Homo-oligomer: A and B are copies of this chain.
Amino acid sequence: MQKLASFEVNYLQYLDEGGKPANDLPDFADDHEVMVGLYRSMQLLRHLDARAVALQRVGRMRTYPASEGQEAVGVGASSCLSDRDVLVPYYRGTAMMLGHGVQPHEILLYWGGDERGSDYQNPLAKEDFPIAVPIATQMLHAAGVASAIKLRGQKDRAVLTEIGEGGTSEGEFYEALNVAGVWNLPMVCVINNNQWAISVPSEMQTAAQTYAQKAVAAGIEGLQVDGNDVIAVKDAVGKALDKARNGGGATLIEAVTYRLCDHTTADDASRYEDAKARAEAEKKEPLGRLAKYLLNLGAVNEKQLDEFAVAAKAEVEKEVKIYFDILENKPQPPSAMFDYLYAELPERFRAQRDEVMRRGGE
């Protein structure tokens, strides 16, 4: 037997569980503004999630998937996006969406059952995809957007997409990575490995020791990072996006984290999750870790942290108000179900639209 090829999968971590540098930090980690910004984004998300879950409990929100414990993944990754880049999120992509200009009340609208939640108003997100509920379908959309960028020879643009570790079992995940490899597409895929696909633990999802190594099948670079370490996530994704923008092709980044919440508000994780595993995971939680780092760095003091929390809550309340206002005072007319189906509604369906309108309110 002769050795043909060999591959390595590396792991990147900058901050240990106690928030102490475990490695030489990248430059941005010293930039107080940047680091505080990341912290505040993570905090906003945590508050938004908590509020959305609370709204669901009182019947003012439908099924909602929180990101608790996984904030560093999406916040770190999306902080690397430029206004020319395109985001193709997965359904637990709140962090990335917020990071690319989607407004909290749009996210609430979507999960509240109103299509307008995907009609992003911020120009930053104008070309971004809406949430992909069918698992792994977004991977191919990302590859398609990346193909357009590549074919047009656009520089300085790349596509960022995300998927859960469970989603990597879907064939479309591999199809997208494979074409990203052979067409050398400007695309970065982050795997949010939060250890669970609803009730199915990671070890029942694949025999691969890492999800990062799934890149080997496509001949692209794969890397694992500590997904609770926002510095590692930002560093890896930032470099991968730069590589993509400069013709270097696609990268797969596995961010290892833990889902510190139910799968969605429709789930009850206590049915299948070991309380000890959860307790262990809580120790590695990203927000507290980053707070410790920031305090050590002297970028913030305890009082400021409290102020941030208050500000985040206020911001969320403001957005919740907008959400309520839209639902209550500006509901979609029933005919909306026909008005965006085609550029122009075919004659054939006109009568149905009329009927919907005629029948009026619920």
Report A's interface with B, CB cutoff 8 A: 1-13, 169-175, 178-179, 181-182, 184, 203-210, 212-214, 216-220, 224
Contact = CB atoms under 8 A, between A and B. Distances in A.
Contacts of A208: 178, 181, 216-219
Given A169-B175, A170-B175, A171-B172, A5 B209 contact: yes
Contacts of A182: 203-207
Minimum-distance CB pairs A-B, first 4 = A171-B171, A207-B219, A181-B207, A217-B217
Contact of A178 (B12, B172, B206, B224): B206
7 contacts: A4-B10, A169-B179, A170-B175, A171-B175, A181-B206, A182-B205, A206-B218
Contact of A207 (B1, B204, B218): B218
Contacts of A220: 207
Contacts of A181: 206-208
The CB with the most chain B CB atoms within 10 A, among A9, A174, A203, is that of A174
Given A208-B181, A219-B207, A9 B6 contact: yes
Given A5-B209, A174-B217, 16 more contacts: A2-B11, A3-B10, A4-B212, A4-B224, A5-B8, A7-B7, A7-B216, A169-B175, A169-B178, A182-B205, A182-B207, A206-B218, A206-B219, A207-B220, A208-B217, A213-B216
Contact of A217 (B4, B170, B204, B214): B214
A297 to B, nearest CB: 23
Contacts of A213: 5, 7, 216-217, 219
Most chain B beta carbons < 10 A, residue from A5, A8, A184, A207: A207
Nearest to A214: B217
A178 B173 CA distance: 12
Contacts of A224: 4
Contact of A184 (B6, B170, B207): B207
Contacts of A1: 10-12
Contacts of A169: 175, 178-179
A200 B178 CA distance: 15
A183 to B, nearest CB: 8
Residue with the greatest number of chain B CB neighbours at <10 A, chosen from A2, A172, A179: A2
Contact of A4 (B3, B171, B206, B209): B209
Nearest to A174: B174
Contacts of A175: 169-171
A184 B206 CA distance: 10
A13 B6 CA distance: 18
A38 B209 CA distance: 39
Which of A12, A13, A184, A216 gathers the greatest number of chain B CB atoms within 10 Å?
A216
Nearest to A1: B10
B207 A4 contact: no
Contacts of A209: 4-5, 219
A179 B182 CA distance: 25
Contact of A5 (B4, B9, B179, B219): B9
Contacts of A216: 7, 208, 213-214, 216-217
A175 B167 CA distance: 11
A92 to B, nearest CB: 21
Nearest to A2: B11
